[in-house]
Chain A
Amino acid sequence: MGFASLKSRQVRQEFKWGLLFITPWIVGFLLFQLYPTLASLYYSFTDKALVRAPEFVGFDNYVKLLTRDKQFIKALSNTLYMVAIQVPLGLIFAFFTALLLNMKIRGQAVFRTVYYLPTVVPAVAGTLLWLWILNPRYGIMNQVLQTVGLRSPAWFGSPVWAKPAMIMMGLWAVGTNTVLYLAALQGVPQEMYESATLDGANWWQRTLRITVPMVSPVTLFIAITSIIGTFQLFTQAYIVAGSGGAPGSPRESLLFYAIYLYHQGFVYLKMGYASALAWILFIIIMVVTLVLMRSSARYVYYES
């Protein structure tokens, strides 16, 4: 027996073992990810409810969504509003919080813990807490506003103020992104700041010219994950609307894409229509992500 056949036997053996070890994942992937994904694509072209055989309707669901469904437009525009405002604000907020927490001061660990804590509060509990903070008559926010002679708006009770309130709640829980920025800040070489300082750069110039470009890969990562997360915003709006009101109450101001999709699928049992909604969301997220990735060479700096 030559060396070549021995080697190929070994390779085959290793391949078999490799397959054996990876089989649970492959089976899980095929059954619980690939199959449901492909099935939902098929259902999006059908009139599918619960157990009745799906009836093929071609592009009807997509045509109805894009041409006749006013609530779809409302849900999409509400969601885009959150993506356009909450994501950039969240990035800025997380970045400056990380800068502050990166300062070498006493009690640094305590501050870091305090700013991270809201992230570990479950979304439902956090939302209920904010409903109290923003109570227009009894909430802490109202008391703060009163001290400067202002009256609290209705916040979650008003179609004008509900989304800003939601954004405020989102900024409160930027701890994870702050930690990512903190880690990135540790990787910025101190010599850069030292030489910039020798050249006469002030704090703002150093932040803008050194820190921002050096942490830009993390900014891209946070931007993409935040955009995906915001497109899927659900729990907070679901809790705020409570039971009894129309979905996305008050007055559809919190009718986000995922809320609309959930109602179509699991409340009205229009699974085919909900599948079409899911695929449109997938395409939107994919296009936005691709645009960000493709254009990132212009504003993301990789040291290597």
Chain B
Amino acid sequence: MVFWPEWGGKDADALQVQVDKWAANTGTTVEFLPIRDHTRMIASMSAGNPPDLLMTWDANAVGQWGFEGVLRDIQPYIDQAGMDLSMYFPIGVASGNLMGIKQIGLPLTNYITTILYWNKDTFAAAGLDAEKAPETWEELEELANKLTVVENGQIKKMGYSPLVGQVSHPTVYAYAYGGSIWSEDRRTVTPEDPANIESLKFCRRFYEKYTTEEMERWDSSLGTEADAPTYPIYTGELAMEVLGEWMPTYFDQVKELNLNISGAYLPHPASKPEVKGTMGANTNPLVIPTNAKNPDAAFDFIRFISEPENSAEMCVIVGNASPVVEGLKLQIAKTTQPLYKEILEQIWAQGQIKPMTINSPIGSLYNDTYARYRDEVVQDGADPEERMLALKDEIQAELDAALDKLGI
């Protein structure tokens, strides 16, 4: 069985442990090849000579490949193995589903459930209640302005920078403002949703207040590696930052900083308390290419890694959430980092988690185009309503054409 996961380092090592275990149990020879970019996966599928099992972190790519017909429908395998998909959290199953047409993947892990982290020391230094995170976006904005220090026109510290952190995916603000970028049936894009417009206006206000030039200077000077002491939430350069649930798993690597950081649900609009705890999450889907030579073996590994013990054992090391309900319970029991443990318990028990990526033939194009139009609004001050309607026109035409071509 040939398996190419798009992982590296400790994550790939943790996965290999499970692969080796499965290989020993079943007497199968496995060629395990972690790769760094999925151009190679595309080439192999396009050439008709793919591996038996693939895993990429790019859920958008999986959707596009699925619609191109290079991935197998795994429903027959699921039925044959008698697997009950309610063993997974729903978003993991939804992420592997092509608009209800077929099931092309099952989740290896769930990740990037977005959390608002705050550096308690910066709150205390500014005379604010260090134990209380803002609950609404209005509160966050007010606190952010209080925590921002500007001297001689130069930013020295910021309470919050709206485009820094794990906020690049359009669903992050959309969900947290009670909106969405898709219609329920996924056949209409809805970037003009009033909730999205509100979120863009919120982001814009920071660039207006502190000027785009100064914000560009500030944002591009911040550290980007969570395992380095220069990470802005560690240094206090940013008092609050939106990041994935994985963040506390790096605390051990920067022990010397004695970090005093906590995490909470993303804020919600004051007028929409029901949105509290709404967030998106992504999955790392396992998929079987159409031309795989050993699809049965590949699916058997999917089944194996979905067993709670195996999933938990791997996820503890990787620092992503187990997509299996019982697996997550075991993972929480094995987790020692207190903040990470608390986050896993809270978000998966009480959070309203929606899929961050919808399988679509135009997923990547939508994301990239959204980012381009968002920057025009937030950084250059373009009219948000007008830009989002232009985006809708552009992307809807692409989506309609793609679905039409696929006969869907």
Is B342 interfacial (CB-CB < 8 Å)?
A: no
Task: Please indicate which of the listed interface residues B219, B220, B290, B379 has the most CB atoms of chain A within 10 Å of its own CB.
Answer: B220
Given contacts A51-B70, A52-B68, A251-B376, contact A268 B364 (CB under 8 A): yes
Tell me the B210-255 residues at the A interface (CB within 8 Å): 213, 216-221, 224
Q: Would you call B216 and A245 a contact (CB within 8 A)?
A: no
Q: Would you call A51 and B221 a contact (CB within 8 A)?
A: no
Q: Would you call B217 and A50 a contact (CB within 8 A)?
A: no
Which residues of B are interface residues toward A (Cβ below 8 A)? Answer: 39, 42, 45-46, 48, 61, 64-65, 68-70, 154, 168-169, 213, 216-221, 224, 290, 362, 364-365, 368-369, 371-372, 375-376, 379-380, 405
17 A-B pairs with C-beta separation under 8 A: A50-B46, A50-B70, A51-B45, A51-B48, A51-B69, A52-B69, A135-B220, A154-B213, A158-B217, A158-B220, A245-B168, A246-B371, A246-B372, A250-B375, A251-B372, A266-B39, A268-B365
**For the complex, what is the distance from the CA of A247 to the CA of B220, rounded to whole Å?**
16
Given contacts A51-B48, A51-B68, A154-B220, contact A245 B42 (CB under 8 A): no
**For the complex, what is the distance from the CA of A138 to the CA of B221, rounded to whole Å?**
7
Q: Which residues of A contact B380 (CB under 8 A)?
A: 251
Q: Would you call B362 and A157 a contact (CB within 8 A)?
A: no
Q: Which residues of A contact B46 (CB under 8 A)?
A: 50-51
Q: Would you call A158 and B216 a contact (CB within 8 A)?
A: yes
Taking chain A's interface residues, is the majority helix, strand, or loop, or is none over half, making it mixed?
loop
Which residues of A are interface residues toward B (Cβ below 8 A)? Answer: 47, 49-52, 135-138, 151-158, 242-247, 249-252, 263, 266-269
Q: Would you call B221 and A137 a contact (CB within 8 A)?
A: yes
For A244, the closest partner residue in chain B by CB is B168
Q: Would you call A152 and B217 a contact (CB within 8 A)?
A: yes
Return A255 CB to nearest CB of chain B, in Å. 9
For B230, the closest partner residue in chain A by CB is A138
Q: Which residues of B contact A157 (CB under 8 A)?
A: 216-217, 219-221
Q: Would you call A135 and B221 a contact (CB within 8 A)?
A: yes
**For the complex, what is the distance from the CA of A50 to the CA of B361, rounded to whole Å?**
12
Return A129 CB to nearest CB of chain B, in Å. 15
Return B57 CB to nearest CB of chain A, in Å. 10
Q: Would you call B217 and A136 a contact (CB within 8 A)?
A: yes
Return B121 CB to nearest CB of chain A, in Å. 20
Return B317 CB to nearest CB of chain A, in Å. 23
Q: Which residues of A contact B48 (CB under 8 A)?
A: 51
For A51, the closest partner residue in chain B by CB is B70
Q: Would you call B216 and A50 a contact (CB within 8 A)?
A: no
For B361, the closest partner residue in chain A by CB is A269
Q: Would you call B213 and A269 a contact (CB within 8 A)?
A: no
Q: Would you call B368 and A155 a contact (CB within 8 A)?
A: no
For B156, the closest partner residue in chain A by CB is A137
Return B36 CB to nearest CB of chain A, in Å. 12
Return A4 CB to nearest CB of chain B, in Å. 51
Q: Which residues of B contact A252 (CB under 8 A)?
A: 372
Q: Which residues of B contact A136 (CB under 8 A)?
A: 217-218, 220-221
For A139, the closest partner residue in chain B by CB is B221
Q: Would you call A158 and B213 a contact (CB within 8 A)?
A: yes
Q: Which residues of B contact A137 (CB under 8 A)?
A: 217-218, 221
For B58, the closest partner residue in chain A by CB is A267
For A55, the closest partner residue in chain B by CB is B405
For B39, the closest partner residue in chain A by CB is A266
Q: Would you call A251 and B213 a contact (CB within 8 A)?
A: no
**For the complex, what is the distance from the CA of A51 to the CA of B68, rounded to whole Å?**
7
**For the complex, what is the distance from the CA of A243 to the CA of B371, rounded to whole Å?**
11
For A48, the closest partner residue in chain B by CB is B46
Return B254 CB to nearest CB of chain A, in Å. 18
Q: Would you call B68 and A267 a contact (CB within 8 A)?
A: no
Task: Please indicate which of the listed interface residues A158, A245, A246, A247 has the most CB atoms of chain B within 10 Å of its own CB.
Answer: A246
Q: Which residues of B contact A152 (CB under 8 A)?
A: 217
Closest 3 pairs between A and B when the two form their complex, measured CB to CB: A157-B220, A244-B168, A246-B371
For B373, the closest partner residue in chain A by CB is A246
For B57, the closest partner residue in chain A by CB is A243
Q: Which residues of A contact B369 (CB under 8 A)?
A: 246
Q: Which residues of B contact A243 (CB under 8 A)?
A: 168
**For the complex, what is the distance from the CA of A246 to the CA of B219, rounded to whole Å?**
16
**For the complex, what is the distance from the CA of A154 to the CA of B42, rounded to whole Å?**
36
Q: Which residues of B contact A246 (CB under 8 A)?
A: 368-369, 371-372, 375
Return B378 CB to nearest CB of chain A, in Å. 11
Return B387 CB to nearest CB of chain A, in Å. 13
**For the complex, what is the distance from the CA of A154 to the CA of B155, rounded to whole Å?**
13
Q: Which residues of B contact A153 (CB under 8 A)?
A: 217
Return A2 CB to nearest CB of chain B, in Å. 55
For A152, the closest partner residue in chain B by CB is B217
**For the complex, what is the distance from the CA of A165 to the CA of B90, rounded to whole Å?**
46
Return B212 CB to nearest CB of chain A, in Å. 9
**For the complex, what is the distance from the CA of A50 to the CA of B213, rounded to whole Å?**
42
If A151-B217, A157-B216, A267-B368 are given as contacts, then 6 extra A-B residue pairs at C-beta distance below 8 Å, sorted by A number, are: A154-B217, A157-B219, A157-B221, A158-B217, A158-B220, A246-B372
Return A48 CB to nearest CB of chain B, in Å. 10
Q: Which residues of A contact B64 (CB under 8 A)?
A: 268-269
